[in-house]
Amino acid sequence: MTARWMTPLLLFLTGAAFLLSLMAGKVWIWPAAWLSNAPDGWIFLELRLPRALLGLGIGAVLGLSGAVLQGYLRNPLADPTVLGVSSSAALGGVTAIFLGLNTLPLGLFSCAMLGAGVSILLLLTLARGGGPLGFILGGMVLSTLAGSLTAFLISIAPNPFAASEIINWLMGALTDRLMEDVIKALPLMAIGAALLLTMGRALDGLTLGEDGARSIGVNLTQLRWVIVVGVGLSVGASVAVSGVVGFVGLIVPHLIRGIMGEQPSSILLPSALGGAILTLVADSLVRLTPGPTEIRLGIAMAVLGAPFFFMLLWKQRGRAA
């Protein structure tokens, strides 16, 4: 009964959070001023609109990727940040900047998506058989490695200005993104998300374990590749445009499961909507914090997400490892 109304309610809340994100800030901009010629109209079109669209997009793909990865690995601790997919995408992006590939059209995006895709492929191939925690440990190793290589590239960057630009981007934020970047990122994220959304029933099949899923006719090889491409595109594009915003994919599916039940297919779309709501609201709140500079969204999410991870880990005790 509650589950039935959940998706429409989440859709409504997503719309509300989007509107909030368009209006909230040091300067509140009410709808009447959105298309005016006053400075408020300029702030709206050049700053608020791209920022809100990005929040909507990256929140949705991060929530959805978390739900898909958790379903595939049958592990509620999986998420693009925990598995090192986001930091690998960041490494891809930094490599692109280092090699000057970012001057090519979509150069930065391609490298970030490649980084994300390769990391998920490595993880799904190498960490199999390691049990539920094998993937998490594998992800930690990938994440640390990608972080170190990123730091290395920054340390040998010829130009200190470029280095500080990179660090700024990596920290994860939706501020000062150009509409041009948003227009590049959104279609890539949408394609990735659409791919992932078609995998619901195959993920349901994995409730029976791998042998069970194969025996009912799930093509696991195909599923794995769709996840590699879908997560690669969507998480890669989101990192390329807004750096590492962590833990959305960890927090949201967990909360959604509490309401919708645990069937993997029934939490995919709600997790995407929930991710968008969380990101839009969190991004509006960081804008409203007093002080000369705002808190980075990526940092705020990490502060929120890390305790959440430990809470989930605590709840896991007693469940078969």
Tell me how far apart the alpha carbons of residues 85 and 68 are, in angstroms, rounded to a whole number.
13
Cβ of residue 200: shortest distance to another protein, in angstroms?
10
Nearer to another protein, 130 or 187 (CB): 130
State yes or no: residue 74 binds another protein (CB under 8 A): yes
Nearer to another protein, 184 or 204 (CB): 204
Nearer to another protein, 172 or 274 (CB): 274
Nearer to another protein, 120 or 218 (CB): 218
From 11, 6, 37, 57, select the one nearest 283 (Cα to Cα): 57
User: Of the candidates 49, 262, 308, 316, which one interacts with another protein according to CB under 8 A?
Assistant: 262
State yes or no: residue 289 binds another protein (CB under 8 A): no
Stretch that binds another protein, among 92-100, 164-172, 185-193, 262-270 (CB under 8 A): 262-270
Nearer to another protein, 190 or 220 (CB): 220
Nearer to another protein, 32 or 320 (CB): 320
Tell me how far apart the alpha carbons of residues 31 and 25 are, in angstroms, rounded to a whole number.
14
State yes or no: residue 263 binds another protein (CB under 8 A): yes
Cβ of residue 73: shortest distance to another protein, in angstroms?
10
**Residue 155: φ, ψ to 5°:** -65, -30
User: Of the candidates 264, 270, 275, 298, which one interacts with another protein according to CB under 8 A?
Assistant: 264
Tell me how far apart the alpha carbons of residues 135 and 261 are, in angstroms, rounded to a whole number.
24
Residue type, 6: M
What long-range pairs does 205-210 form, CB within 8 A, spacing at least 24? Answer: 206/71, 206/72, 206/74, 206/264, 207/74, 207/263, 207/264, 209/74
Cβ of residue 117: shortest distance to another protein, in angstroms?
24
**Residues of span 218-247 touching another protein by CB under 8 A:** 218-219
**Residues of span 161-220 touching another protein by CB under 8 A:** 201, 204-209, 211-212, 214-219
Query: Encoding tokens for residue 202?
Result: 């195959």
Cβ of residue 321: shortest distance to another protein, in angstroms?
13
Torsion, Cα of 142, 255, 130, 243 (10° steps): -10
Tell me how far apart the alpha carbons of residues 297 and 282 are, in angstroms, rounded to a whole number.
7
- What is the C-alpha radius of gyration for the chain, rounded to an integer number of angstroms? 19
The string over 17-43, giving b where at least 16 C-beta atoms fall within 10 Å of a residue's C-beta and e elsewhere, is: bbebbbbbbeeebeeebbeeeeebeeb
Nearer to another protein, 217 or 290 (CB): 217
Residues in touch with another protein (CB under 8 A): 74, 201, 204-209, 211-212, 214-219, 261-264
